[in-house]
Amino acid sequence: MAGGAAMLVNVGTVIMTVLTLASLVGGFGVNWGNIASHPLNPDIVVRMLKENKINKVKLFDADSWTMNALAGTGMEVMVGIPNNLLETLAEDYDNAKDWVKENVTAYLRKGGVDIKYVAVGNEPFLSAYNGSFLKTTFPALKNIHKALKEAGHTNILKATIPQNAEVYQSANDKPSEGDFRSDVKKTMLDIVNFFHDNDLPFTVNIYPFLSLYLNEHFPVEFAFLDGDGKTITDNGKNYDNVFDANYDTLVYSLRKAGIKDMKIIVGEVGWPTDGHKYASPKLAEKFYAGLMKRLAEDGGTPSRPERLEVYLFGLLDEDMKSILPGPFERHWGIFRYDGTPKFMLDFTGQGRKMVPVAAKGVQYLEKQWCVVNKDTVNLDEVGPDLDYACYHGDCTAMQGGSTCSNLDKIQNISYAFNMYFQIQDQDVRACDFKGAAMITKTNASVGSCLFPVQIVSGSDHVRINFVFGRLVVFALVLLGLVTAI
């Protein structure tokens, strides 16, 4: 991870730091996703959350294994409804009742799960979806809310819709000009009025990193919350970072809709550590230090100075996420795939140089790697095998400016071979490539470029098929990864 070697906690490192988090920052939780080839056992994850004194989690589904692991912990939980269920829930109220019965009511028992929110969809109005969920999201929300109310749950939990900050905009990039995007404005006004009438919160995902990723001229320091960004003034309020400006653009958008006091939850905010020149442990540490300090001070934004409620994104790396938004998508975790922390992070917001507590009890596959067999490989003919390995594996850390972008040609191919080999549970047949590869017991990692050994997951019931597999190769080619090798 570029520039982050000093901050990096490598796999196998013995972490001697002991955290004492008696004064943990309030108002924050973490996003726990599992779009991974080998998800960590939920019991291990829950133990890690407890040891880091994190007591709020946001899920993207209501997976029973995960929910049962959270039962009895007292952790506040936001359960999620995937976008592919929105049409079913919108079409038939009985479907919404069944979903609530099976995924909410079933866990609201003594010693059960402390569900606080139900997230209906996830960023359903992204422009990239071309309106696919525009007609189903609001009806699904209404049916879920009705089902929750009928079951007697609305006094203890709320429905919401996590939206990407893309649903609102400002013509001149100043918060006071904020308004909902024209193509979704009518539906958004219906939704926020429904929220207002039923005392439901507005949930928004804000990503300062994307401002840098999408605009090469964006001022770097304006992406962080440490006060070093150049200040802009709008309606007498000063902004020195894009997070505040983005959040307040939503505040002004709501005001234009006639709503001044709606609760706002930041559903996702974080910083990736690989897959782009600005995605590194060093910059992630910088971003989170500023954010946690803000939360520790109970500080809000210029237009909403009250305490923020946020969910950090994310808890763990997910090696099977779509990379269409960018190679960094698989590297948002504060922790690696195996629960190893990637950088210093003081959850108390006091700025101390502390390493989060790593996951305990993680079992790994055998310490072996798949690498190029220099005696048999034909470098002129290995291209298709490289494409195949990246097609079924994860080559995002090889993207320019990333952790593994400075490998030589042999090392590049070895990295791709090993990622495929590990995802295939070290099946010996996955380390052949027409005789171009071999298994070695010698750690193949190069400097800060980790050649991982995969974990024993035991989670076949949540193992996700590589839905976006065919798109990955095309995306890698478009990004220039394969041709650059």
Per residue in 378-391, pLDDT (tens digit) is 999 999 999 999 99
Please tell me the predicted confidence (pLDDT) of residue 363.
97
Residues 427 and 464 in one domain: no
Q: Which residues 6+ apart lie within 8 Å of 160 measured at CB?
A: 78, 117, 118, 119, 120, 195, 200, 201, 202, 203, 265
Q: How confident is the model at residue 446 (pLDDT cuts 50, 70, 90)?
A: very high
Examine the pLDDT at 18 and tell me if it is beyond 60. no
The tally of CA atoms less than 13 A away on the side-chain side of residue 108 is 19
Q: How high does pLDDT run on average in the chain?
A: 91
Q: Is residue 350 part of a domain?
A: no
Q: Which two tokens stand for residue 154?
A: 């609305």
Read off the pLDDT band of 472 (50, 70, 90). very low
Q: What's the residue count for the chain?
A: 485
Among 18-27, 210-219, 404-413, 476-485, where is mean pLDDT lowest? Answer: 476-485
Give the lowest-confidence range in 2-16, 105-119, 184-198, 322-336.
2-16
Same domain, yes or no, for 147 and 214? yes
- Co-location of 420 and 328 in the same domain: no
Q: Is the pLDDT of residue 45 over 70?
A: yes
What does the pLDDT read at residue 213? 96
- Average pLDDT rounded to a whole number, residues 433-450: 97
- For residue 176 the two structure tokens come to 């006071």
Q: Is 474 found in the same domain as 434?
A: no
Count each helix (H run) and each strand (E run) in the chain, helices first. 13, 15
Residue 351 lies in a domain: no
User: Is the domain of 435 the same as that of 474?
Assistant: no
Contact 351, 289 (CB under 8 A): yes
Q: Is residue 6 part of a domain?
A: no
Over range 80-84, report the average pLDDT.
Answer: 98
CATH number at residue 239: 3.20.20.80
Residue 369's beta-bridge partner residues? 440
> Does residue 107 or residue 299 have the better pLDDT?
107
Mean pLDDT of 27-38: 95
Q: Can the peptide bond before residue 314 be classed as cis, meaning omega within 30 degrees of 0? A: yes
Asked if 229 and 259 sit in the same domain, the reply is yes
**Residue 361 maps to a domain:** no
228 and 79 assigned to the same domain: yes
Domain assignment of residue 112, yes or no: yes
Is the separation of the CB atoms in 185 and 131 below 8 Å? Answer: no
Tell me the pLDDT band of 26, cut-offs 50, 70 and 90.
Answer: confident
pLDDT of 478 strictly over 90:
no
Residue 435: domain span:
369-440
The tokens for 431 are 């380390």
- Whether residue 17 is predicted with pLDDT greater than 50 in this model: the reply is no
Residue 244 confidence (pLDDT) above 90: yes
Enumerate the active-site residues.
123, 268
Asked if the model's pLDDT at residue 466 lies above 90, the reply is no
Segment 293-297 mean pLDDT: 94
Q: Confirm whether 453 is domain-assigned.
A: no
Least confident of 8-12, 125-129, 303-307: 8-12
Predicted pLDDT of residue 461: 43
Q: How many domains does the chain have?
A: 3
- The per-residue pLDDT for 469 is 38
Looking at the structure, tell me whether residues 415 and 274 fall in a common domain: no
Instruction: Look at residue 76 and give its three-state secondary structure.
Output: strand
pLDDT at 3 over 50: no
Burial class of residue 471 in the structure, from the number of CB atoms within 10 Å of its CB (0-12 exposed, 13-18 middle, 19+ buried): middle
For residues 231 and 298, membership in a common domain is answered with: yes
pLDDT score at 190: 98
Identify the pLDDT of residue 4: 38
Domain annotation covers residue 20: no
Q: Contact, 148 vs 154, CB < 8 A?
A: yes
pLDDT computed for residue 27 by the predictor:
77
Given a cut of 80, whether residue 457 has pLDDT beyond it is yes
Q: Is the pLDDT of residue 85 over 90?
A: yes
For 179, 189, 203, 457, the CA distances from 183, given in Å and listed in that order, are 12, 12, 19, 43
Residue 255 lies in a domain: yes
**Span 97-107, average pLDDT:** 98
Q: What is the pLDDT of residue 23?
A: 53
Residues 412 and 476 in one domain: no
Select from 335, 360, 386 the last residue of a domain: 335
284 and 147 in a single domain? The answer is yes
Structure tokens at 373: 């067999």
**pLDDT tier for residue 458 given thresholds of 50, 70 and 90:** low
**Token couple for 189:** 């006004």
Q: What percent of the chain is modeled with pLDDT above 90?
A: 87
For residues 113-132, average pLDDT: 97
Q: Are residues 291 and 382 in the same domain?
A: no
